[in-house]
Structure formats: structure tokens, C-alpha cells
């Protein structure tokens, strides 16, 4: 039987992708990063963000993969897809990874978030290049073109390098074509502290979004961070399984 081009390009990546995010002890309930102690439900950054945000944050955060430090092919893809000139191979790898995830698991994501169907999509803008369309938006827009796009602006008074949640980081006058239930799929490439993605989610909620679900291509892990060691060990000792996801429900797959 002839293999679909998407399948073969994801299969190649499965050779080097680490095991995907799963809930468990020492894993942040929000972002699937490492907590500083197995006793904690949230990682340091997510706890700090929650304390600052007054409850208006993403309803659900779903990383598709982990990115372990800066080594390895996946990390290279996440870096090279947005370089000038961009790596075509990296662009294709990330596109098919996202499409494959959506085909297999968007129902898991919707069920976990209590969303019947997404009405809008938004991309977390680049704070370093606020005047440019984010390369991820350029890459993935064809995959999510059935959703009405919300374009967030960037408040350049906030340091582009900040790792802190800021409720005024992104700008939005109003949600275009709002629905009785405006449910937004918010997309970003790499979650490091989550500050940008959560600031964007906060802005969308303040503008009237009912649900905001953040899907990121990769949750960054720092292998040198001691409390992350058990998690790094788990994900590097087993392969990526494209048949399951961070919020997988057997009945929802297909």
C-alpha cells in the first residue's frame, strides 16, 4: 500500500522525536514542564503567571512534543524554520507534524477543553519582530484556514525579551466576527516560560473569548535544570508515539 507523503515525513521524525507530554508526578498540570518538586502541581513559571493573571489564562495548553535543550534534529527544525533563508526541510517537518497532530488529536483537545468547535485562530506574535507576520503563522495558516483569524498587535513598551506574564503585552481592539461562543485556537512554536503565550491568551479572554486553547509545537525542557532530570530521562528513553497525545482520549481518536 502506498504511504501518504505526510505519513512518511512524520515517520522520519519519529526516529528522533522524544516521547510526548503526559500528565504525571513532577509534571506541570498546565504546561507539562518540570515542577521544582513532585509535591507541586504547577511549575515555577506557571504558578507565577497564575498569581499575576487573575484567572484569565488559556483553558488548556497542549504541547505536541518536547524540545530537549538545543541539541537534536527537532530543536534544529524549530530554530531553522524561521531563519532567513529558512530551511525548507524544517518548514515541511513542522507543517506535517502539526497537520498530523490535528488530524489525529484535535478531537482530544476539544473534548479536554469543552469546546464543540473552534471558531477562531490566533498566533502568538513575535515580540522581537512585531511588524512582521510570524513565520509560524505564514507556515500553518493554510492548515487552519477554516477558522477566522484574530491578529494580535504587540505593545512595544514591554521588553521583547521578557519572561514575565504581562496583561498588556498584546493589543486587540475587538474580536472580529465574534460568535455566541468564541472559542480560540492559539498557536505558538516553542513554550519556554509561557509568558508570551499566556499574555496572548489573557488578551483574547479579556476581549471576550469564551475558551482559549493553546497548542504549541514544543515544550522546551532544560536538561541542566536538576528537577527536570526525571522528566528528561523519561522522554529520552522512549520514542514519540503519534497515535497518542498529551490529552488523549481513546474514544475521541480517529
Question: Which residues of the chain form beta strands (DSSP E)?
Answer: 60-68, 120-123, 148-150, 153-154, 170-171, 183-191, 211-221
Region of 66 please: left (phi>0), alpha (psi -120 to 50) or beta: beta
8 A C-beta contact, residue 172 and residue 153:
yes
Given 13, 30, 68, 127, the residue binding Zn ion (CB under 5 A): 30
204 binds Zn ion (CB under 5 A): no
Per CB under 5 A, does 242 bind Zn ion? no
Residue closer to Zn ion by CB (options 136, 192) is 192
> How many residues make contact with Zn ion (CB under 5 A)?
10
Instruction: State which of residues 27, 34, 46, 175 lies at the interface with Zn ion (CB under 5 A).
Output: 46
Which residue number, 28 or 218, has a Cβ lying nearer to Zn ion?
A: 28
**Residues whose CB is less than 8 angstroms from the CB of residue 31 and which lie 6 or more positions away in sequence, other chains included:** 43, 45, 46, 61, 63, 191, 194, 219
From 149, 164, 152, select the one nearest 207 (Cα to Cα): 152
Q: With CB under 5 A as the contact rule, which of the stretches 105-113, 116-124, 185-193, 219-227 interacts with Zn ion?
A: 105-113
Q: Which residue, 108 or 232, has its beta carbon nearer to Zn ion? A: 108
Q: Is 122 in the site for Zn ion (CB under 5 A)?
A: no
Dihedral sign for Cα atoms in the order 22, 26, 32, 33: negative
For residue 162, the minimal CB distance to Zn ion (Å) is 17
* Comparison of 108 and 216: residue with beta carbon closer to Zn ion: 108
Task: Pick the binder of Zn ion from 20, 21, 26, 33 (CB under 5 A).
Answer: 33
Q: Compute the distance between CA of residue 204 and CA of residue 151 in angstroms, rounded to an integer.
A: 10
> Nearest approach, Cβ of 152 to Zn ion (angstroms)?
22
Q: Using CA atoms, how far apart are residues 171 and 151, in angstroms rounded to an integer?
A: 9
Say whether 11 sits in a helix, a strand or coil. Answer: helix
Please choose, out of 88-96, 99-107, 216-224, 225-233, the segment that lies near Zn ion by the rule CB under 5 A: 99-107
Chain contacts with Zn ion (rule: CB under 5 A): 28, 30-31, 33, 43, 46, 105, 108, 245, 248
Amino acid at each position: 500500500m502506498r504511504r501518504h507523503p505526510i505519513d512518511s515525513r512524520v515517520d522520519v521524525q519519529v526516529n528522533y522525536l522524544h516521547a510526548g507530554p503526559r500528565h504525571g508526578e513532577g509534571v506541570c498540570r498546565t504546561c507539562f514542564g518540570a515542577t521544582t518538586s513532585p509535591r507541586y502541581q504547577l511549575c515555577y513559571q506557571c504558578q507565577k503567571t497564575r498569581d499575576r493573571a487573575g484567572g484569565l489564562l488559556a483553558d488548556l495548553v497542549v504541547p505536541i512534543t518536547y524540545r530537549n535543550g538545543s541539541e537534536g534534529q527537532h530543536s534544529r527544525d524549530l530554530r531553522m524554520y524561521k531563519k532567513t533563508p529558512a530551511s525548507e526541510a524544517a518548514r515541511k517537518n513542522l507543517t506535517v507534524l502539526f497537520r498530523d497532530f490535528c488530524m489525529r488529536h484535535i478531537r482530544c483537545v476539544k473534548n479536554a477543553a469543552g469546546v464543540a468547535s473552534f471558531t477562531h485562530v490566533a498566533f502568538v506574535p513575535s515580540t522581537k519582530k512585531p511588524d512582521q507576520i510570524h513565520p509560524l503563522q505564514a507556515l500553518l495558516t493554510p492548515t487552519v484556514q477554516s477558522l477566522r483569524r484574530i491578529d494580535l498587535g504587540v505593545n512595544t513598551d514591554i521588553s521583547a525579551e521578557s519572561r514575565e506574564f504581562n496583561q498588556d503585552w498584546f493589543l486587540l481592539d475587538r474580536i472580529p466576527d465574534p460568535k455566541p461562543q468564541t472559542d480560540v485556537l492559539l498557536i505558538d512554536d516553542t513554550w519556554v516560560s509561557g509568558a508570551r503565550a499566556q499574555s496572548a491568551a489573557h488578551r483574547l479572554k479579556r476581549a471576550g473569548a469564551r475558551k482559549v486553547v493553546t497548542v504549541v509545537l514544543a515544550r522546551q525542557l532544560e536538561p541542566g535544570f536538576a528537577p527536570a532530570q526525571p522528566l528528561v530521562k523519561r522522554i529520552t528513553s522512549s520514542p514519540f508515539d503519534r497515535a497518542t497525545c498529551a490529552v488523549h482520549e481513546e474514544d475521541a481518536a480517529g
